[in-house]
Every structure is written in structure tokens, then in C-alpha cells.
Amino acid sequence: MTMAASILGGMAAQRARILPPAPDPSADVIDLSSEFPSGSTSPALRESAIDAVEQHLCDHYTRRPGIAPLCRAVAASMSAAGVPLDETLVTICGGVAEARYVAVRALAAGQRVYLPLPAPAVYQAGLEFAGANVTTFDAGGDLPDAQGGLLIVSNPNPVTGQVVAPATLERLAAWADAADLAIIADESVGPVRPEAPFVRFASLPGMAERTLTIGSFAEVPGLGAWHVSWIAGAKRVFTPVRDLKQSITICTAAASQYAALAAASEVDEGEIAAEVAERQEAILSLLDRHKVPYLAPDTVAFVVVQVAESSRLAAACHAAGVIIGDGALLGNPGTVRIAVPSGSLADALEALDAALHDVKGR
Amino acid sequence: MSKHHAPGQIVTPDELRAVAADGTKLRYALMELAGQIPDAITLGRGDPDLNTPEHVIAAARAAILDGRADLPVPVAGLPALREAVAENLRRDNGIPVQRDDILITDGGQEALYLLMQTLLDPGDEILVPDPRYTSYDEAIHQAGARMVLVPTYPEDNFDLRAAEVEAAITPKTKAILIISPSNPTSAVVSRANLTAIAEIARRHNLIVISDEIYEKYVYAPAEQISVAGLPGMFERTVTLGGFSKTYAMTGWRVGYVAAPADFIAALTAVKAATTGPLSAVSQYAALAAATGPQDVVAEYREIYRRRIELMKHGLADLGFSFGEPQGAFFVYTNAASSGIPAFELSYLLLREGHVLIFPGTAFGEKWVDWLRISVLQPEDQLALALERMAGVLARHR
Ligand SMILES: Cc1ncc(COP(=O)(O)O)c(C=O)c1O
């Protein structure tokens, strides 16, 4: 490296040091490190996206908040879940990483931030860049003394795959009300199992006016790679986040928005959950055969395995041709996260089987 | 100077006055207003009216049909796209880059945000030519750094003078921003100034951020020179580019950063934790643009050049002066002869003439007599816009 190259590289490294290295999916390995179901989008969805592309609807910047019918679809789905909203309180974002970052970066600036454990590492960049002061706590135990600040509720939690029990949510809501907290409800992980007691945080009494909800279209298999998500909520918490999103990327790629629109109108969530759940069962049976404990999943998107030496299992998986998420890096030490594969299910199972044999055999 | 109308004499709506001091918000507020006027001719936003080329559309279609659009792409970008961008930069710009020196971003917009967050620490100063694309203001402010403006002048077509750059340097200066061709002035920095600025950067150990998003729209005799291709500059220069303007692809949101690989690796980690990868389908579209036939760019360039000529003549007839546009697709014009301050004038032109044009104050506080006109409408619409402008001016002069 030339000396001057290290001028630039060195400066950036200072900032990058606080962040985990970027995952690097390659053609030779099966990447199961994500928190969304992989797979293929449906022929109907592809047709809709192609139509929009061929009509040149994707050539130009869209409205900054996103194409109007998509904003309306999100508003309608929030309203149906007990959070009445109109489309002016919705903004379409790039992937869920972007939505999380802009939400946290805008709302946590100079604030005390309350983060229930296990705290997913996905908020780290936003928190660091915002100069936030973070307090982690156990949502089941004593709640911290607080007066003002920001609460982040991840539901389902991206590092456990579990939903927060409604009673716990109600307790957090009462506390947020008394302590005057703003809330980011990161509800982007899914699909949720039909029997899981999932409740939108903003639908709890008094919470709509202090909550920003994050959602994603990546729960539709195959749509994860299109990187399209959304934020919606009360003006007070919505506006600064919307403005930051627009200043960072102007608007979200139009083709992705049209694909999401097709998903919003054509995809049956129940069907998807049932289809992905079947594949998830195959992984759970493999774990059962190996007598490896795992967290009871509330989402069908991934499985969280309890394993003391998570990094060793992750390395063994990599050697066997599968990348999985190491909980030590994701924010849930003592676990690994394995996304539910699609086309590669048989190969993935074989590789996981080999890795589990390898780790246990040593 | 404004002879007849003092600022505030023409009543502008509250929603405009409320955002008048924020260039970006002002531009969007004007766009909102224009959206309510069905026959408005929009010469505001830098969004090409031309279509994304058909071979790019076909490539996007193919990627969707065969399922490539559903497969995850690395945060740094599709390897083939990084390779193609590197090859084009080597060939066209003389920048010695390989695939690992390229990061694909969510438009040039995200690139500029990531760069500021990654390079600037609180208290740092960065030199920014004025007038400017004010999205930089927000990105620099978010990093806690301070923007130090370097003036440019119509007398030399808004060239960035090396002496002005050097005069603005303090012990806190970390970087020099160059936007060439410029938004909003359409200036292209001359070879003499660019070489001198490069020498200043080396002497003061500064970084150069070179925004070359309009690089393919440069009109002879002006020439596009990439700072990173100058001797000894690659290791201290970050080049920002993109597909939005070159290929009329603003909706696909594809930009890139070119810089030494160790910097790109760190920037990729920041991107992973902030915005994540860009949509796969957009990257396949960009790949087709980067590797496909380039004659479409020459075709678009000729279209913009003719439109700029038309606009210049029309503005001269209105009694407006301007620096000679050398690139991009804007004419930055001095409307002082109208006697109406630009902020009020742009509102009047929209309300009465149904023509959307941004005031210079959307690109810097001091440009109270200036207008930025983008020529992103067909020639007949430009001619009609000029006619309507003449009508408005005749009523108010
Ligand atoms: C100077 C300059 N840089 C960067 C951008 C960002 O464009 P995009 O994000 O569409 O690539 C623009 C857009 O107008 C610009 O004018």
C-alpha cells in the first residue's frame, strides 16, 4: 500500500472499526446469514415488475416518499392492524438496513436510548453516528428510570426470531407513556407464524402518537434482494426520519417499489408463511436429530440455535459451504442464526449436517 | 441589482418562505407547487426527461425473468458491475482502478453521504465551491464538520480558482470538494486550475473529493479531466460518479465511489451498517449501461447541447446574462435586469407563467439575482417556456 493510500484508508478505518465487516456472499457458498427468507419471487410479481420497467415507469426519480399506491398500501395495512394512518405518514425506504439506520440516526441523535436485551447489532451504526447514550435492559425485569429518550422495540427480534409477549409490550407501553419516550418499533422481521401472538406496538393505547414503525417487503421470498422496506408513524417521529432518508438516497429504486407494490397486492401472507414453514421444519428436524437446542421460532424466516461456541459452528458451516450468522457478531452471544433456504434446501441441510457432526465430533 | 422590487414586495406563499433558507427544501417546495399546475413546464430538477436506453430496459427484464434479481448481491456491489465501472474509469478517465477500488452506491447521493460520514470528524473543515448542490450541506452537517465556501465568479464561467481554494485553507481543512461539471453553474474546472488545485492538495496533505456525476456532458472546447488520473493524486482522491445523469437512469438509483481499495473496504463496512446493498435489479440494469453501446450518450449530449444553445439565446433576448455553460444540462443565469429578486421571480414565473425554475438561493445564500434553468424538456417546450417568461417579465418589469 502506498503511504498516501493509507491516508484515505486509515481515516475510513477509524470509522469502520466500530462496525462488523460486511458479509460477502459468493457463488460457491450458500448464504444463510440473512434474516429474511431466500427464494424466488412469483411469476405474477415478476410480470408486474417487468411491465413497470418496460413502460419506462422506473427511469426517473419517483416521488421522494415513494410511489403513491405503495404508500397507500402500507397505510391500509397499518390501519387494518389497528394503527390508523394515511399515506402522507409513510415513506418507502431501500432495504431494511436503510430504514433502521435512518430511524435510529435521526431519532437517537444526542438522546438516551433504551434497548431491551438481546440487543441486535443492526442498530449500532445509527447509534454510534448519532452519538446516542445506550442503556440496555431486560424487558422482563425492572425497567430503567427514564425521563425522555428513545425506546427501540424489535418485534420479532432479529436475533432471537421471537415475538415480544403482548403483556411485556403493554408494560413497555405504560412505561414509555410515563417516561415520555419516543419509540422505534422495528417490526420488519417476518413472516410471523400464524400462532405467534404478534401485536403492533403502535396499536397499543396511546402509542400511535409516539411510535415509528419499520416494516419490510423482504418477508416475501426472493424480494429481499430487491431491498425495499418502509417507515410509518406519527408526524413527530416520522418527519425527521423521512427527511434523513430523502437526504441520503433521494428516493428508493423505482423497480423495487413496483415489485413491492405487486407483492402488496398479489401475495397472500398466510400462504407464504405456510410454504416457508415447511422448509423451516426440515432444519428444525435436523437440529432435533443432532440434539442441538434452539429457540422456539415465532418467525418462519430463520432458526436461532443455542450453541456456546457460536464462532466455531459458524466456521465449520463455512468450511462445509454455508454461511450462517454468528450471534457473537449479531448481538446474541451463544447462538447462531440460520436463514431458511429455498432452492438450496437439500444442499444446505447436507452442509449443516456435516458441520454439526464436525463440531460435535471434536 | 434589483431596481424595482424590494425583497418581500411580491407575496410568496408561507410554505415557500418557511423553507427559503434551506436550498434542498426550497427546491422540493417549488416542485410541490409545480405539481399542482397541470400545464407547468418543469425546468427545475436535474432529472433527464429522456428515457433509460432500451438495451438497459431489456437487461433489467432479463434479470427479473431469470431470477437473478432475487439473489443477494454483496454490499460492495455486483462484482461484474464493479469490474465494468473500473474498466470505464481506466479507459475514459485515466484513473488507475481495479474492481476492489469501486463501491456501488444507492445513487451518487448516497455516495456523498457515506463519504462525509466516513471521512469527516467533528470540527473538520471541507472546502466547497459556491454556488453548490446543497445536499452536500446536510451530509457535512451530519458529520459534525464545517463547510467552508470557496467563491466562484461568472467572469470566468464559474471556474474553480486555485488561488481561492488555497486562500480558504486553514489548519482544520481536511478535504477539497470539486464538482465538475458543476450543478448549478455547468462550469467545468479548467486544466490549469485543476492541476494547481491538485498540487495544493498534495502540498497541504488534503483529500480531494471529486464529484463527476455530470462527466459525460461536457461541451467542446471544455474538457473533462479526472483529478484522480493526475500524477500522484489517486491515493488522495475519492471520485464520485453514477448512472443517473449519464444514462437517464435517476430512478434506478445507481452511483459509485472510486478510491484506493483499503478505503473502499472501510467504506463498504459503513455502507453495510447504514444502507446495506443496492437492489440487484438496478445493478443488472447499470451493468448493461456500463458495458453496452455508448453512442446513446453522444446522442443525449447533442440533444442537451442544442437545448442549451436555444436557452442561451432566449435568455439573452430577455436581457439576462450568464456564465458560458460548459457541461451538465443547466444554464445559470443572472436575472438582475428583471428588477425582481430571484426567489420572488421564480415564484412569479411558476404562478403566472407556469414555468418551474429554481432560484439561485436554492444553491447558496448569496445568489439572490440568479436562476438555475435545467434544459430537461424538448426544444418546443423550452421555446414555450421562454415565451411565457417573457410575458411574465413584461407585466412586472
Ligand atoms: C452534483 C450532484 N451530485 C450528486 C447527485 C446525486 O444524484 P443521484 O443520486 O441521482 O446519482 C446530484 C443530483 O442532482 C448532483 O447534482
Distance separating alpha carbons of residues B246 and A298, to the nearest angstrom: 47
Give which of B267, B201, B190 is closest to B233, Cα–Cα.
B201
pLDDT at res. B10:
80
The C-alpha atoms of residue B175 and residue B140 are separated, in whole angstroms, by: 11
B179 C-beta closer than 6 A to ligand 1: yes
Give the span between the Cα atoms of A227 and A244, in whole angstroms: 18
- According to DSSP, the residues that pair with B125 across neighbouring strands are B146, B173
Domain finish residue from B264, B291, B318: B291
Among B61, B106, B205, the strongest candidate for a mutation testing the A interface, having the largest count of A CBs within 10 A, is: B106
Query: In Å, how far is B110's CA from the nearest CA of chain A?
Result: 5
Name the residue facing A60 among B47, B67, B70 (closest C-beta): B47
B2 confidence band (pLDDT: 50, 70, 90): very low
- Are residues B380 and B243 located together in one domain of the fold? no
Q: Are residues B94 and B227 in the same domain?
A: yes
- Amino acid (one-letter) located at B222: A
B214 lies in the same domain as B312: no
Q: Per residue in A143-154, is it b (16+ CB within 10 Å) or e — as a string?
A: beebeebbbbbb
In chain B, residues with a C-beta closer than 8 Å to the C-beta of A256 are: 279, 281-282
Q: What pLDDT is stored for residue A84 in this prediction? A: 96
A354: left (phi over 0), alpha (psi -120 to 50) or beta: alpha
Q: Are residues B146 and B183 both part of a single domain?
A: yes
Give how far the C-alpha of residue B39 lies from the chain's centroid of Cα atoms, to the nearest Å.
26
A8 neighbourhood in chain B, CB within 8 Å: 119, 207, 235-236, 238, 259-260, 262-263
Residues B367 and B241 in one domain: no
Does one domain contain both B103 and B199? yes
Longest dimension (CA), chain B: 64
pTM: 0.95
B52, A58: Cβ pair inside 8 Å? yes
> Is residue B77 in contact with ligand 1, taking CB distance under 6 Å?
no
Tell me what pLDDT residue A341 has: 85
Indicate which CATH number applies to the domain containing B369: 3.90.1150.10
- For the stretch A219-231, pLDDT in tens is 888 899 999 999 9
Give the nearest partner residue to A248 out of B109, B205, B266, using CB atoms. B109
Give mean pLDDT, residues B285-313: 98
Residue A137 DSSP SS3: strand
Q: What is the pLDDT of residues B315-370, one digit of tens each?
A: 999 999 999 999 999 999 999 999 999 999 999 999 999 999 999 999 999 999 99
Residue among B52, B103, B114, B245 whose CB has most ligand 1 atoms within 8 A, to mutate:
B245
Domain positions in chain A: 22-42+269-361, 43-266
Residues B239 and B263 in one domain: yes
Q: Are residues B135 and B253 in the same domain?
A: yes
The number of distinct structural domains making up chain B is 2
Output the CATH code of domain A22-42+269-361. Answer: 3.90.1150.10
pLDDT of residue A148: 97
Domain end marker among B276, B291, B306: B291
Q: Which of A19, A56, A61 sits opposite B273 (nearest CB)?
A: A19
Euclidean distance between CA atoms A219 and B69, whole angstroms: 16
CB-closest option in B76, B252, B273 to A255: B252
- The mean pLDDT value for B274-298 works out to 97
Q: What is the pLDDT of residues B208-242, one digit of tens each?
A: 999 999 999 999 999 999 999 999 999 999 999 99
- Whether B4 maps to a domain, the answer reads no
Report the percentage of chain A scoring pLDDT > 90.
79
**Residue range of the domain that includes B106:** 54-291
B105 lines ligand 1 (CB under 6 A): no
Contact check, Cβ <8 Å, B238/A8 = yes
Residues B249 and B392 occupy one common structural domain: no
Nearest residue of A to residue B202 by CA position?
A: A4
Does some domain include residue B44? Answer: yes
Q: Same structural domain for residues B132 and B152?
A: yes
The CA–CA distances, whole Å, from A157 to A116, A163, A164, A165, B2 equal 10, 6, 8, 11, 60
Answer yes or no: do B275 and B162 share one domain.
yes
Helix (H, G, I), strand (E, B) or coil at B12: coil
Query: Rg of the Cα trace of chain B?
Result: 21
Judge whether residue B6 has pLDDT over 70: no
What is the distance between the alpha carbons of residues A227 and B74, in angstroms, rounded to a whole number?
12
Q: Give the CATH number for residue B136.
A: 3.40.640.10
Is the predicted pLDDT of residue A27 greater than 90, yes or no? no
Of B260, B291, B322, the position where a domain reaches its end is: B291
If you average pLDDT over every residue of chain B, what do you get?
Answer: 95
Q: How confident is the prediction for chain A on average, in pLDDT?
A: 92
Q: Which residue has the higher pLDDT, A9 or A300?
A: A300
To probe the interface with B, which of A124, A249, A251, A323 has the most B CB atoms within 10 Å?
A249
Residue A245 predicted with pLDDT over 90: yes
Indicate if B197 and B313 belong to the same structural domain. no
> What 3-state DSSP class applies to A335?
strand
Q: What are the chain A neighbours of B52 within 8 Å (beta carbons)?
A: 56, 58-59
In a domain, B201, yes or no: yes
User: What average pLDDT does this structure show over A309-316?
Assistant: 93
Q: Vertex A55, ends A53 and A56: CA angle to 5°?
A: 65
pLDDT number for residue A21: 61
B244 lines ligand 1 (CB under 6 A): yes
Residue A19 has pLDDT above 90, yes or no: no
In a domain, B256, yes or no: yes
Is B3 a domain residue?
A: no
Average pLDDT over residues B168-191: 98
Q: For residue A3, is pLDDT > 60?
A: no
Quote the pLDDT of residue A4.
41
Q: Domain A43-266, what architecture?
A: 3-Layer(aba) Sandwich (3.40)
Taking CB atoms and an 8 Å limit, are B276 and A224 in contact across chains?
no
Determine the pLDDT at residue A22: 60
- Summarize pLDDT for B67-95 with one digit per residue, the tens: 999 998 999 999 999 999 999 999 999 99
| Averaged pLDDT for residues A200-211 | 98
- Residue A34: name the closest of A224, A214, A213 by CA: A224
Q: What is this model's ipTM? A: 0.95
Ligand 1 site, residue B255, Cβ cutoff 6 A: yes
Q: Does any domain span residue B2? A: no
> Residue A17: what pLDDT?
67
Report d(CA B351, CA B344) in Å as an integer: 10
| pLDDT tens string B26-53 | 999 999 999 999 999 999 999 999 999 9
